């Protein structure tokens, strides 16, 4: 069996996450301000605050669809492609929003390829 496969990243390709990352920047700055008031320097804690906010499922609503992403995904589906989303944000965001497509999600290209091979798809 031969499969036409499209492996697509989410952030910056399908979704514009700039508002969510701006919110994360605000969380980092708030943490730094709080620590400064206590005369504490904690860059690691600030970085943790940033990523906690960036990967918080409650902030996914800030993401917007990239221009033409919906049309491109529909075009791939209509052309018979099997679509796989590849993202490093899988765990905190996997159930954050509605899923309009019957798609598969993987956190590494290797995992996606192995899954396709296990299903019997002939991949180069």
pLDDT tens track for 70-114: 889 889 989 988 887 777 665 555 554 444 444 565 656 667 667
Q: How far is CA 32 from CA 22, 37, 59, 89, 105, in A?
A: 15, 9, 20, 24, 35
What pLDDT does residue 107 have? 59
pLDDT for residue 15 is more than 50? yes
Comparing 31-35, 49-53, 87-91, 98-102, the range with the smallest average pLDDT is 98-102
Q: What local confidence, expressed as pLDDT, does residue 20 receive?
A: 92
Torsion on CA atoms 37, 42, 46, 47, rounded to nearest 10: 170
State the chain's mean pLDDT as an integer. Answer: 79
* Sequence spans of domains, the chain: 1-16+65-124, 18-62
Instruction: Give the pLDDT band (50/70/90) at residue 21.
Output: very high
Rounded Cα distance, 64 and 16, in Å:
5
Q: How confident is the model at residue 118 (pLDDT cuts 50, 70, 90)?
A: confident
- Model confidence, pTM: 0.64
């Amino acid at each position: 069996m031969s499969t036409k496969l499209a492996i697509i990243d989410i952030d910056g390709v399908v979704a514009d996450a700039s508002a969510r990352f701006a919110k994360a920047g605000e969380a980092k700055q708030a943490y730094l301000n709080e620590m400064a008031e206590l005369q504490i320097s904690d860059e690691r804690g600030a970085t943790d605050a940033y990523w906690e906010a960036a990967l918080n499922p409650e902030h996914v609503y800030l993401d917007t669809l990239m221009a033409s992403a919906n049309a491109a995904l529909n075009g791939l589906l209509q052309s018979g492609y099997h679509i796989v989303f590849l993202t490093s944000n899988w765990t905190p965001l996997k159930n954050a929003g509605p899923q309009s497509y019957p798609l598969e999600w993987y956190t590494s290209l290797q995992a996606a390829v192995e899954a396709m091979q296990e299903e019997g798809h002939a991949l180069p």
